[in-house]
Structure formats: structure tokens, C-alpha cells
């Protein structure tokens, strides 16, 4: 089955601007690199969307039977405040503001990043390399680029010579920017920078005396330019030319354009066959930004502690909501949209549980194979999760018809239907079953049992026991509310 479907997988390649049939470099294997976070603050929701999008890609490739090596880096040095190689290192700045070691900042926010992505049920990558762990590799690449005439040293810093590179290559082919425009649009005044030309970018920067994250190199004690780490780590683990490189849309320029230039200038090879970019996330129709207050953090959604939300939402509901839009579309986040997604999610999960209880008939009145093919067609069309979800809602209708006796499936079809629903919901979309039908049911019964014991204690005027039950439940996040019709409870 997998083989037949593999040939049909099409991926929108940002480099060509069109959907292309996916053909990996090595049959049955896929090398995939995704730019990870710069770990200087809590991961924001827009980043989570990007990583959920590539988790979907990873899961689907695995589902098709590919052996995938998924590499996603952690940027723990070299990313300056300003993309034009200026300003303080983002991690060093945070360390200064909080009077901590830079590596304490890195550790804190790497843990936050992992915990948050785990809540979204993202699978971990196979390799998660760090920039600081690959300084030697980065220095080696700089040496090659200098040897090949595409970089120059000034006062201990090394810059990539974009104009020189462009004589034999095409700088701007990914972002569609023309080099003439880049020059015309620059506001940098001549003589203010060490660079020969403003569009050149840093491969190595000599450290100023107060810059604390520094390493020795042939040029100076300094630190690598931000774009270089991804070239070093992707080619080290995936080869000079690999299959898929992903990241957020905002990384297309300059970051990914520079990655291509660095690879071509050092190895002479095109580094990536399929460039994929996930689109951004807006909040109530506007760009998210801390400065304007139009911002919501993942943990605020899970606890409901942000005024843009009327309640808390489970991570799987948020994930489902994200996957209801195609990864290349802008996704607008709002309380109403989440409420609608939650309803849809519950309908799907309830139908899935209903399906498990349905018995087979002698024959079938529904074409399961055609439906299953539609699901694959959706995913094969550039990972079109919203169309897949629409197909799963078609299945919900059929499940209710089966339950009410208006449709029939023979044993083979029923088995296929159950297995496919399971595979698409949990393996491909990566949703988690959080309906009361699952483990929640046991929890509900247990809390109800404790409420019963507490009611009995109160009737016996044993308030010590009744208070103990209420307080200890409260300690673990289960709140009891006494009303006219008995005691209700809520779980945080
Ligand atoms: Zn990167």
C-alpha cells in the first residue's frame, strides 16, 4: 500500500513555487531538517504552530513507511537581536537582564520548549543538535567558503561576499528577491560597517570585550553568525544534499537564503530538494506581539489564564484547531474558533468510540476503500490536513448511520474503517483521546465516589472527614462546588 501512495505524495516547494512529486534522495529514507527555536524566552504560539505543522509532515512520512531522520536544532548562541548582524546576542542579553549564566537561560527555555511541544503531542526529532556543540564544524565551513573565494576577513570577523557568490550562483532564488533591489533598499551608510557591501552577512564575528559567549577561531576569539549553524548541522547529519528543509515563513529571508548560499559556496551542491515554509498565526485578525498586548502563550490557553479566552482548552483541541487550516495558510486564533474546534474534536472522538462498538453485517453499503483513498489523496496533496479532517467528518456521519442501522459494513470493511480512523486520528494527525469515554471516565467515577463519601460524612456531621476530602481534592486541582442539586466538580 505504502509504495503505491508514496508516488502520489506532492509537496509544495518554496524554491520552485509549485507542488512537486516527492522523490527522496535515497529510496525509502527521508532526511528532514527544521529550524528550531532560539531558546531565550518561552516558546510562543506561532512557533508551536510551525512545529505542529512539521510534526504532521514527520508523522505522515513515517506513516507512509519511510525511515525518516528528523533533525531540529536548538539555537543557543549567535542569534543577534537584529537580523542584520547587529545588536546583542539574544541569549546573552537575557542572561544579563536576569543575572544568570547564558547556559542557564538556554537550559530553562529548552525545557519549556520540550514540555510545551510534548503537551501538543509532537514527536521528538531524531537528533536535536545545538549551535554551541558545532562550533568546530562551523569554523571548517567558513574555511572552505574563504578558500572558494566567497568570504573575506576584516578585523577578525568574516563576512560572506554576496556579490562574488552571485557571479556564479543565484542569491535570492528562494525568496525571489533581486540583488539590485536589496542594494537599493539598504539604509546602511557607506563606511559605517566593516562589510564590503550591506547585503553581505557575518559568518564569524569577533567578540567585543563584554560579549561573554566566545570561542577561539583562526580569525579571532568570537562567535559564529546565526545562519551558519543550520548549514553545519543539517549537512553533518543529513549530507550535502538532503530532502526536506522546513521552517517558519519569516525564516525564508535572510536565514534560508543565506543557508543555501553557504552550502553552495562550501560544497558546490544545492543543499535541499524541497523547501517547506509554514505560515504565521494571528490573534483576532492581528499580528501577535507582546508590545501591543495582542499575545497569548500556550500555557495560558491550557489554563485559561488570558483575558482573550473564556475558558481553558486542552492541548489536543488546540492542535486539532491548528490542523484545521493548511500549514501554508495564515491561521487566525480566537476564542470562538477554539470553541468551535473543541466541539468538532469531541464529535470526532465520540464517533470514534461509537465505531469501536459497532458490529459487522453480511455486506457493505458504504465504500470504505474509496473513502480511505480520499483521506490519502488529501494528505498526498501537500499535507492537506483540513481536507483530511473533512473526510473524517464524512466518516462521522457514516458511523452514526451504522449505529442507527441505516448503513452496513461487512467484517473486512469494518476492520479497515476502524483501523483507518485510528491511524488518521492518532498516528497522522497526532491527536490525543481526551474524551470522557477514555481514561476520563475512570477519573469521573473516582471523583463521584469521593463526593459520595463526603456527602455521607456530612450527613453524619463528620465535618473533619468531609473537609479533608474537599481540601485534598482541591490540592490536586479538583474543585468541588455544592449546589441545590448536589455537588458538582471541575478539574483544572
Ligand atoms: Zn535555521
- For the chain, 492 residues long, give each residue's pLDDT as a single digit of tens: 444 444 589 999 999 999 999 999 999 999 999 999 999 999 999 999 999 999 999 999 999 999 999 999 999 987 887 766 677 889 988 998 999 999 999 999 999 999 999 999 999 999 999 999 999 999 999 999 999 999 999 999 999 999 999 999 999 999 998 877 776 666 555 556 789 998 999 999 999 888 888 999 999 999 999 999 999 999 999 999 999 999 999 999 999 999 999 999 999 999 999 999 999 999 999 988 777 788 899 999 999 999 899 999 999 999 999 999 999 999 999 999 999 999 999 999 999 999 999 999 999 999 999 999 999 999 999 999 999 999 999 999 999 999 999 999 999 999 999 999 999 999 999 999 987 655 566 777 888 899 999 999 999 999 999 999 999 999 988 888 888 778 877 776
- Is 14 within a domain? no
Between the CA of 154 and the centroid of ligand 1 the distance, in Å, is 25
**Ligand 1 centroid to residue 302 C-alpha, Å:** 29
Query: Can you read off the three cell numbers belonging to residue 108?
Result: 530553562
Instruction: Please give the Cα distance from 72 to 474 (Å, whole number).
Output: 40
End-to-end alpha carbon distance in the chain: 43
Answer whether 388's CB lies under 8 Å from 378's CB.
Answer: yes
Q: How far is CA 145 from the centre of its chain?
A: 32
Q: Among 119, 457, 461, which Cα is nearest to 480's?
A: 457
Residue 91 backbone dihedrals phi, psi, to 5 degrees: -75, -40
Give yes or no: residues 187 and 211 share one domain.
yes
Please report the DSSP string for 59-84 in residue order: HHHHHTT-EEEEEE-BB-S--EEETT
What domain count does the chain have? 3
Q: Does the residue 126 lie in any domain?
A: yes
Residues linked to residue 480 through DSSP beta bridges, in sequence order? 489
Residues 59 and 113 in one domain: yes
Which of 278, 312, 338 delimits the end of a domain?
A: 278
Contact 379, 335 (CB under 8 A): no
Residue 166 Cα to ligand 1 midpoint, Å, equals 21
Instruction: Identify whether residues 372 and 461 lie together within a single domain.
Output: no
Q: What whole-number distance in Å separates Cα of residue 468 and Cα of residue 470?
A: 5
Residue 137 CB contacts under 8 Å (≥ 6 apart), including other chains: 232, 233, 236
CATH of the domain at 203: 3.40.50.620
Q: Which residues contact 167 (CB under 8 A, 6 or more apart)?
A: none
Domain boundary among 383, 412, 428: 428
- List for the chain the helix, strand, coil content (%; round to 5): 50, 20, 35
Residue 380, domain member (yes or no): yes
In the reported structure, the alpha carbon of residue 304 is separated from the centroid of ligand 1 by a whole-number distance in angstroms of 32
CA of 293 to the centre of ligand 1 (A): 28
Domain hosting 259: range is: 25-278
- C-alpha 231 – ligand 1 centre gap (Å): 8
CA 309 vs CA 335, 342, 351, 369: distances in Å: 5, 13, 27, 41
- Centroid of ligand 1 to alpha carbon of 14 (angstroms): 15
Q: Strand pairing partners for 286?
A: 283
User: Exposed (0-12), middle (13-18) or buried (19+): which is 9, by Cβ within 10 Å?
Assistant: buried
Residues in Cβ contact with 256 at an 8 Å cutoff, skipping those fewer than 6 apart:
35, 174, 175, 245, 247, 275
CA gap 327, 320 in Å, rounded = 12
- Cα of 244 to ligand 1 centre, how many Å? 13
Same domain, 123 and 261: yes
Whether residue 361 sits in one domain with residue 260: no
Q: 325 and 252 share a domain?
A: no
Residue at grid coordinates 541569549:
91
Count CB neighbours of 411 within 10 A.
12
Amino acid at each position: 500500500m505504502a509504495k503505491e501512495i508514496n508516488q502520489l505524495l506532492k509537496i509544495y516547494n518554496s524554491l520552485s513555487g509549485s507542488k512537486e512529486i516527492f522523490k527522496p534522495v535515497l529510496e525509502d529514507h527521508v532526511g528532514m531538517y527544521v529550524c528550531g527555536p532560539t531558546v531565550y524566552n518561552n516558546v510562543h504560539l506561532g512557533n508551536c504552530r510551525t512545529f505542529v505543522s512539521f510534526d504532521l509532515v514527520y508523522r505522515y512520512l513515517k506513516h507512509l513507511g519511510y525511515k525518516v531522520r528528523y533533525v531540529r536544532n536548538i539555537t543557543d548562541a549567535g542569534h543577534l537581536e537584529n537580523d542584520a548582524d547587529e545588536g546583542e546576542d539574544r541569549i546573552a542579553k537575557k542572561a544579563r537582564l536576569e543575572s544568570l549564566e547564558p547556559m542557564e537561560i538556554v537550559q530553562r527555555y529548552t525545557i519549556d520548549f520540550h514540555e510545551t511541544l510534548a503537551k501538543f503531542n509532537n514527536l521528538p526529532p531524531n537528533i536535536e543538535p545545538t549551535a554551541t556543540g558545532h562550533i568546530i564544524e562551523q569554523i571548517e565551513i567558513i574555511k572552505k567558503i574563504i578558500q572558494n573565494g566567497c568570504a573575506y576577513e576584516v578585523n577578525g570577523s568574516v563576512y560572506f561576499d554576496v556579490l562574488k557568490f552571485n557571479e556564479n550562483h543565484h542569491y535570492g532564488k528562494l525568496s525571489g528577491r533581486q540583488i539590485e533591489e536589496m542594494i537599493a533598499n539598504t539604509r546602511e551608510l557607506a563606511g559605517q560597517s566593516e562589510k564590503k557591501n550591506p547585503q553581505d552577512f557575518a559568518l564569524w564575528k569577533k567578540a567585543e570585550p563584554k560579549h561573554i559567549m566566545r570561542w577561539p577561531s583562526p580569525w579571532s576569539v568570537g562567535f559564529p553568525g546565526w545562519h551558519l549553524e543550520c548549514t553545519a548541522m543539517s549537512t553533518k547529519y543529513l549530507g550535502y544534499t538532503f530532502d526536506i528543509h522546513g521552517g517558519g515563513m519569516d525564516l525564508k529571508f535572510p536565514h534560508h537564503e543565506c543557508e543555501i548560499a553557504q552550502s553552495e559556496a562550501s560544497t558546490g551542491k544545492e543543499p535541499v530538494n524541497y523547501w517547506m515554509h509554514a505560515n504565521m498565526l494571528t490573534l483576532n485578525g492581528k499580528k501577535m506581539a507582546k508590545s501591543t498586548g495582542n499575545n497569548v502563550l500556550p500555557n495560558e490557553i491550557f489554563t485559561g489564564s488570558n483575558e482573550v479566552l473564556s475558558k481553558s482548552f486542552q492541548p489536543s483541541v488546540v492542535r486539532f484547531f491548528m490542523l484545521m487550516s493548511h500549514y501554508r495558510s495564515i491561521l487566525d486564533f480566537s476564542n470562538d474558533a477554539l470553541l468551535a474546534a473543541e466541539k468538532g474534536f469531541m464529535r470526532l472522538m465520540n464517533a470514534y468510540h461509537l465505531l469501536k462498538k459497532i458490529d459487522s453485517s453480511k455486506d457493505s453499503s458504504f465504500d470504505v476503500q474509496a473513502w480511505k483513498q480520499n483521506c490519502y489523496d488529501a494528505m498526498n496533496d501537500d499535507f492537506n490536513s483540513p481536507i483530511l479532517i473533512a473526510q473524517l467528518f464524512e466518516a462521522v456521519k457514516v458511523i452514526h448511520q451504522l449505529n442507527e442501522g441505516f448503513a452496513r459494513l461487512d467484517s473486512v470493511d469494518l476492520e479497515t474503517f476502524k483501523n483507518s480512523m485510528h491511524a488518521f486520528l492518532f498516528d497522522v494527525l497526532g491527536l490525543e483521546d481526551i474524551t470522557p469515554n477514555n481514561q476520563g471516565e475512570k477519573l469521573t467515577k473516582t471523583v463521584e465516589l469521593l463526593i459520595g463519601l463526603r456527602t455521607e460524612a456530612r450527613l453524619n456531621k463528620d465535618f473533619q472527614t468531609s473537609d479533608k476530602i474537599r481540601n485534598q481534592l482541591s490540592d490536586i486541582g479538583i474543585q468541588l462546588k455544592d449546589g441545590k442539586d448536589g455537588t458538582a466538580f471541575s478539574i483544572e
